[in-house]
Amino acid sequence: MKYNIIRCLVDVHKVKLTVVPFDYDLEKNPSNIEWEGLFLSNGPGDPTMCPQTIKSIQYALNLDPPRPIFGICLGNQLLSLAAGAKTYKLKYGNRGMNQPCIDLRTGRCYITPQNHGFAVDSNSLPAMWKPLFINANDLTNEGIVHTDRPFFSVQFHPEASGGPLDTAFLFDKFVGHVRKISQPLVLQDGLAYQRQTVKKVLLVGSGGLSIGQAGEFDYSGSQCIKALKEEGIEVVLINPNIATVQTSTEKNEVTPGADKVYFLPIRPHVVMDIIAKEKPDGIIVSMGGQTALNVGVELWKTGQLQKAGVKVLGTQIDAIEATEDREIFSQKLQEIGESIALSYSANNVEEALEAARKIGYPVLVRAAFALGGLGSGFAENDAELKDLASKAFTVSSQILIDQDLRGWKELEYEVVRDSSDNCITVCNMENFDPLGVHTGDSIVVAPSQTLTNREFFMLRKTALKVVRHLGIVGECNIQYALNPKSEKYCIIEVNARLSRSSALASKATGYPLAYVATKLALGRDLVSIRNSITKTTTACFEPSLDYCVLKMPRWDLKKFNRVSNKLGSSMLSVGEVMSIGRSFEEVIQKACRMVNPSLDGLEGIDSNLTDDEIPLEEQIAVPTDTRLFAVQRALEEGWGVDKVYEHTKIDKWFLSKLENIARMRKACKDCGDVEKLFAENGTDRMRSLKMAGFSDQQIARYTNLTPLRDGTARVRAIRKSLGVIPCVKQIDTLAAEFPAETNYLYMTYSGNEDDVSEGLHDPIVSESDDESWPATPASKAFKNRIRSASLATSKSESLADKQERGVMVLGCGAYCIGSSVEFDWCAVSAIRQLRKDGFKSIIVNYNPETVSTDYDESDRLYFEELSLERVLDIYEREGAGGIVVSVGGQIPNNLAGSLASSGAKILGTSARDIERAEDRQQFSDMLDDMGLKQPAWSVARSMEEAVKFSEDVGFPVLVRPSFVLSGAAMRVASDEAQLKNFLGLAADVAADRPVVVTKFILGAKEIEFDAVANQGKILNYAIGEHLENAGVHSGDATVILPAQKLYVETIRQIKKYAVAISKALNITGPFNIQFMATGNDVQVIECNLRASRTFPFVSKTFHKNFISLATRAMCGLHVVPYNINLLDIDYVCVKAPMFSFTRLRGADPTLGVEMASTGEVACFGDDAPRAFLQAMLATGFKLPKAGSTVLLSIVNDNFRREFAESAITLSKMGYKLSATPGTARWYNANYNLDMKMVTKPVNSEDDGDDPATGAPSALSELKESDVELVINISEGTTRKDEISSGYIIRRTTVDYGISLVTNVKCAIWLVKSMERGYDKFKAKSVAEFYHLDV
């Protein structure tokens, strides 16, 4: 008998309890016990072996008047036998804490703890007895009840100390019977039969990717579309993000897409235009982040959805408002005895100050209805609060002043509830950092590691109570703050929509939250939906994890000058990784390598990410993007867990695990010799290191093996000779309690056997490698070992053999600036084409936000590192026919050389040719040899040579490192001092790769050439035209397709150059060349032998999937070029960048040669200006209202002259014009525009009037007047006055939520489009532009 049964009866229900042995004769009652109710306890084994107990129960059953009987576990079986039923042994038994059981009275499903091997045969129950509960998975009996007497029992443990206690009400019922309290009649409420009858649904997407709202909504939206199409519902999608998988128009039975896609701005009036046109029955606003949610709330509050007869599916708007409005939320929680942190709302700065004084400083300032903590921060005093509040009010009409709970633990639960009130928690997660760091910027661990069982179930119980009270239907996320020194907690917030955490929880558990939430929104109940992993069990369950998952954020703060790397309540990360393993040490080391491929694991001193000039105490006390490595350094230097805890408040359990890593590192370095390290107990030592997440390269470096590449190969050989190889494990959601049919895999050294079988073939060794290509001892051994098996068969392999072998596709890794959702679209397109052509597809990726890591996209998904070590592990194990490295961006492309030299077969363009294109020196040499024009260039072998070259060609010059993405460390140097500074930065990024200095050409037009080739011959191409002149990174440029203003001769030259380059590099697969043109003079900038970020844009504009074509070419299949005739295309598509400058405090919101945008959108139009303005609006750009002020600050006469016609137009349109002194004087003198003069600010506090002229400061105009648009055109140089004044104007503009344009070409197009009234447009789906039958 379990102690908690006694506690439940005696302590909770205050009954007098007498415990008797199993063979006590109840009829004779030798102890003369007086009893009013009989409780039958649990016990082990076969119930038929307890005849004495059964006899006593039979006596109790026949008493008149009857006395209540309640049995649990074995008691359920004994009561059944006493009643005359039969029991039998189950094949496996039902064990664990997450068994779903259906109450047959109500249809409700409860999560129950169980541990039994026998069950009651329901068919053998005699008359007057009925099943009370059944198991939702195997439908076995889980309880019985007498139809007119107070006898009942259940197979599970309602009272289990481990929890959950969802069915503890059964004890209430039993004790109520004993006390002769009338028990209420419990019946179904009929909600399960109220199915939504919808035939057409409008799905609102999230738009362009930004900090706080990224690729997770592509995943959730794609899952939603899949679920809707399974129900036979027509799907209309509005989403201007052209790079996403969900906006793809290709669809088939395996990958159903939306029926209609609108690439339009997500604005309330646009959504209503689509509703008026399409007439959907329902709308889903919970899958598109805060963007979609805010639109849905506004349309509901204004009554427009109700008037149109459109139902909001899933959680209703009043429930959403209850979670978004802090006052309503607080009131709702008070109704059920729960509370949020001390918090007050404020509608102006004075109210904010009053709230702060009530709470006491420091306080947290947050904007209501904002995503990712936008507009939030901590204030220590009135002055800081005023500054934060002023900025927060630019993004929201209401702000929140919250109690400061920094130092408390932060936890999250993902909760799912259906309309029948079945409610489960799918995943609980714990932040590595204490409260004070936005959860999007914190390391997150699932399941939680430091909670006690009591704490876990306390918070779980609260989550279910809150979600039920709020009336949420679908999926939501609840966040807690928990005092680490007590069980005191408060609720931070509830997100009544799919969130970033939802995507993470889905991938961490294998539970498809967005898919299930969509089904629930249609009225389905959890019990009827199947578990996608096991295929046989119900979706009404709580996943069990026999592994650990860790999410680590990815930041790109170093791309921005003046941006602090301090982390707080406003999210700054641009992406994230997820690692899976079976120890905390393993997952955190894997995650470090995933988030930064230049890291070998979690290291402090060796990471080069700590600062020797800043005291270590300071580096670990303040949360930053590098604090983890400073913490590790402190542990490596012997600080100890307690001392680090005092400075960081990071839980000691986490710190102890980091200390383990530090100790193992020290042991390896102290030994210093690889042979000595593994001489004794070599297998155990190697396995211990690998179980703790150490890579082969780390071990090689610790044991002084040089060169490191050869040393790493040697460690790999030693490891394999010791028999230490990783196991392949499945994500099966139920910790192996049920057979899983999943291809969702990870690798770990904490296992003895594989969960899936190996590939049927030996791996193919590449036979096309150039003999000059560097080879390591291990790669030679690898080639020799399999050459006879591989080469003998590869020449004669049939297509069927190749299809069976399969193809590995390397994904994009973490989203970052320069590598985002567009590369996931490329990877998914490649996978889908492989499956369509009958090839087994194997994807390797570790980004939880992606569609490619959805387990039903590929035949095998390895949620693993994109490192040489792990990719080779998978390649050898699967026996794949080759590896595609050209669809995942720069990370897989950079692996091509190492993989090829290790013997792996690279599909498509050879690794040697990839090297020739990526290496700046080799590529420039090749162009010179071919006679193709390029800007003057020189390899920066020394500082002196670089300076001399720059002086010879004349400044400005461009510094370009090799093998980098998004122009990392690329800079324009205007003088010698800048050149020397930038060369040092580029050398750090490029490592041992060449850094090239080229002449920077001002005023040139930049042109994109995206193409697919087969064996050097171009199959299809697209020429895109940048609106901005060269000098703006291609990822930040506005791109027009088809090109509208290129000379015929320019196009001819571009095609000629591209054909020559494709032939010279023998390209097979996707590639991108960037050109610049001045007049008809065309020059080559660079060539990427991989898919570029514009491939989805090109493919969707032309309605031809370039990646599908490239995949067939790379697999050696017959390929036929698409028939693309530009004369038949009577529309234009414009791609516009999406920036997140509002979050990056201090960043200069201007553009240069290093990419700064976090996402992109694209819109279609009958002409380029229409498409341009729609695209601008789709980025969130706000047009100035009629009669408002436009502030101009244009740096020189050339730009002023170029913009003059537009300035006149603005004046004619009724806008008031203000300008900085030079701009105002020039326009007033030359065009008599009567511009109001404002002074340039000297610093960020300079907002007073000019004492000499009385002219107001530009800052006071921005802060206090009706300025709604700022056009600030700088030279792009780094002159001091532009930095001091122009930067302050731009930064203030962004901070106060005012629209900003910094490029003269874009400003001209904007004014032209506004003048023509192109902000008003008719909603057209992309199919209408394609002229498809719609």
The predicted pLDDT at position 558 comes to: 83
Taking the chain, what is the end-to-end CA distance rounded to the nearest angstrom? 68
Rounded Cα–Cα distance for residues 820 and 827 (Å):
12
- Residue 1316 clears pLDDT 90, i.e. is over it: yes
> In this prediction, what percent of the chain has a pLDDT beyond 90?
68
Tokens representing 768?
Answer: 């096309």
Q: Specify burial of residue 1206 (Cβ count, 10 A radius: 0-12, 13-18, 19+).
A: buried
- The chain-wide mean pLDDT, for the chain, equals 90
Q: Confidence class of residue 772 from pLDDT cuts 50, 70 and 90? A: very low
Of 50, 73, 101, 592, the catalytic one is: 73
- Mean pLDDT to the nearest integer, 1097-1102: 96
Give the H/E segment covering residue 54: helix 51-61
Residue 428 pairs in a beta bridge with 413
Q: Would you list the DSSP string of 743-812?
A: -EEEEESS-SS-SSPPPSSPPPBPS---TTS---HHHHHHHHHHHHHHHHHHTT--HHHHHHH-EEEE--
Nearest by Cα to 826 from 1049, 620, 1106, 1230: 1106
**pLDDT number for residue 769:** 44
What pLDDT does residue 1156 have? Answer: 87
Report how far residue 758's alpha carbon sits from residue 1290's, in angstroms, rounded to the nearest whole number: 57
DSSP strand pairing (1216-1219 vs 744-748): unpaired
Distance CA 464, CA 425 (A): 8
Q: How far apart are CA 811 and CA 890, in angstroms?
A: 10
Look up 157 and say whether it is catalytic: yes
pLDDT digits (tens, 9 = 90+) for 1017-1065: 999 999 999 999 888 888 899 999 999 989 999 999 999 999 999 999 9
Percent of the chain residues topping a pLDDT of 70: 93
**What is the arithmetic mean of pLDDT over 1123-1133?**
92
Tell me the one-letter amino acid at 1163: C
pLDDT at 197: 84
More confident residue, 391 or 58: 58
Q: What phi-psi label fits residue 730: left (phi over 0), alpha (psi between -120 and 50 degrees) or beta?
A: beta
871-883 residue pLDDT tens: 999 999 999 999 9
Which tokens in the block code for residue 1158? 């976090």
Please report, as a single letter, which amino acid is at residue 298: E
pLDDT in tens, 1011-1020: 999 999 999 9
Q: pLDDT band for 211, please (50, 70, 90 cuts).
A: confident
pLDDT score of 789 more than 70: no
Instruction: Judge whether 971 and 1155 are in contact, CB under 8 Å.
Output: no
For residue 292, what pLDDT band results from cuts at 50, 70 and 90? very high
* Segment 1255-1266 mean pLDDT: 90
Name the nearest CA neighbour of 506 among 626, 416, 640: 416
The tens digit of pLDDT for each residue in 583-636 reads 999 999 999 999 999 999 999 999 999 999 999 999 999 999 999 999 999 999
pLDDT confidence of residue 794: 46
- pLDDT: which is higher, 1206 or 407: 1206
Once rounded to an integer, what is the mean pLDDT over residues 1268-1284? 67
Residues making up the chain, counted from first to last:
1334
Strand partners, 235: 201
Q: Please state, in angstroms and rounded to a whole number, the distance separating the CA atoms of residues 191 and 64.
A: 39
Q: Is 423 a catalytic residue?
A: no
Query: Could you tell me the pLDDT band of residue 637, with boundaries at 50, 70 and 90?
Result: very high
| Tens digit of each residue's pLDDT (9 = 90 or more) over 805-858 | 999 999 999 998 888 899 999 999 999 999 999 999 999 999 999 999 998 899
pLDDT of the residue at 151: 97
One DSSP character per residue, 6-33 reads: HIIIIIIT--------TT--TTT-TT--
Side-chain half-sphere exposure of 601, counting CA atoms within 13 A: 25
- Average pLDDT (506-534) is 89
Residue 734 pLDDT class (50, 70, 90 cuts): low
Q: Which of 116, 146, 157, 761 is catalytic?
A: 157
Q: Are the C-beta atoms of 714 and 829 separated by less than 8 Å?
A: no
Residue 777, pLDDT > 80, answer no
Mean pLDDT of 289-296: 92
pLDDT tens per residue across span 905-917: 999 999 999 999 9
pLDDT tens for each residue of 460-515? 999 999 999 999 999 999 999 999 988 899 999 998 888 888 889 999 999 999 99
User: CB of 569 within 8 A of CB of 373?
Assistant: yes
Catalytic residue among 142, 159, 412, 542: 159
pLDDT > 50? residue 1219: yes
Confidence (pLDDT) at 1151: 84
DSSP result, 1162-1206: EEEESSHHHHHHHHHHHTTPPPPPTT-EEEEEE-SHHHHHHHHHH
Torsion of CA 532, 533, 537, 539, to 10 degrees: -50
The yes-or-no answer on residue 1133 being catalytic is: no
